[in-house]
Amino acid sequence: MTDATADEDALVRLLRPTRAVLFDFDGPVCDLFGGASTRDVADEVKRAARQHWGTLDPDVSACDDSHGILLRLRDMYDRRSPEHRSRRPLELAEGIVVRQEARAVAGARPTPYVGDLVEALLGLGMRVVMVSNNAEEPIRTYLKAHGLDTKFERVFGRDREDARRMKPDPHCIKRAREHLELPAASCLMVGDQLTDLKAARSAGTCFLGYTEDEAKAEEMRRSGADFVVSSHLAVLAAARRLLGSRVGERVM
């Protein structure tokens, strides 16, 4: 049986030196797609690409994920080819995926306890930013609709010019660190995917995994996550405990 007190102690130790928390968007902050497939979006991208490039490479044709199709299409564009390829399918694909994300935020459900957690982190003097593979504008729309736009200092989303910079590439995390001007060791990323963990490790930041999938949680632990939780409630309890101890120290 897991020792809840020991877990909270470990989370307090993880939070104590943290000066900034970098949240992934889909998962740690909200349930963007509600478990729905993004196959229709990938199919729309493929139809648009065929109009310009004709036959698509097998890996592109087989892809049924909205972010995956952006990567596969970019890979196809970069491959050596006897004919010059237009960039137009890449631009169309990005526009299609952004529109899908913009529609999705209207019905996205907040992750339980995330608002309280952000407030607690701010109360500890931490800075809070977003680092995501989603486009920046839909994220900002969501944050404003849920009263979080004044809480998150900045949003660092997908590079619209180069899909290869999505996580596990650490590009968005490095952009966040440049903005924060903080040492990597004082930054903590919260993510729900192994790609988040890989990006955090590449950027040198600490990593807190968030997932209800025990198999994924175990893989995160094996891959070097500093801690993994299935709910923000555990992190919230640790943050409030740390805040209480700091208030006590000031009173003494």
- 111-167: pLDDT as tens digits: 999 999 999 999 999 999 999 999 999 999 999 999 999 999 999 999 999 999 999
Domain 4-32+108-251: which CATH number of 3.30.1600.10, 3.40.1160.10, 3.40.50.1000, 3.30.470.20: 3.40.50.1000
- pLDDT higher than 70, residue 169: yes
- The maximal CA–CA distance of the chain, rounded, in angstroms, is 75
Write down the pLDDT at residue 36: 87
Asked whether 89 and 60 are in contact (CB, 8 A), the reply is no
Q: Which residue has the higher pLDDT, 248 or 200?
A: 200
Provide the 3-class DSSP secondary structure of residue 145: helix
Write down the pLDDT at residue 35: 84
Provide the 3-class DSSP secondary structure of residue 188: strand
What Å distances lie between residue 30 and 15, 50, 86, 183, 213, CA to CA? 22, 33, 36, 28, 16
Burial letters 50-69, b for 16+ CB under 10 A, else e? eeebeebeeebeebeebbbb
Q: How confident is the model at residue 47 (pLDDT cuts 50, 70, 90)?
A: very high
Write down the pLDDT at residue 61: 97
Tell me which residue has tokens 């490479």: 57
- pLDDT higher than 70, residue 250: no
- pLDDT higher than 90, residue 6: no
- Residue by residue, DSSP assigns 45-111 as HHHHHHHHH-SPPHHHHH---HHHHHHHHHHHHHS--SSPPPSHHHHHHHHHHHHHHHHHHTTPEEP
Write down the pLDDT at residue 3: 43
Write down the pLDDT at residue 189: 98
Average pLDDT over residues 38-51: 97
Average pLDDT over residues 26-36: 94
Query: How far is C-alpha 49 from the geometric centre of its chain's CA atoms?
Result: 27
Write down the domain spans for the chain: 4-32+108-251, 39-105
- 49-98: pLDDT as tens digits: 999 999 999 999 999 999 999 999 999 999 866 567 799 999 999 999 99
Q: What is the DSSP secondary structure assignment for residue 153, as one 8-state letter?
A: S
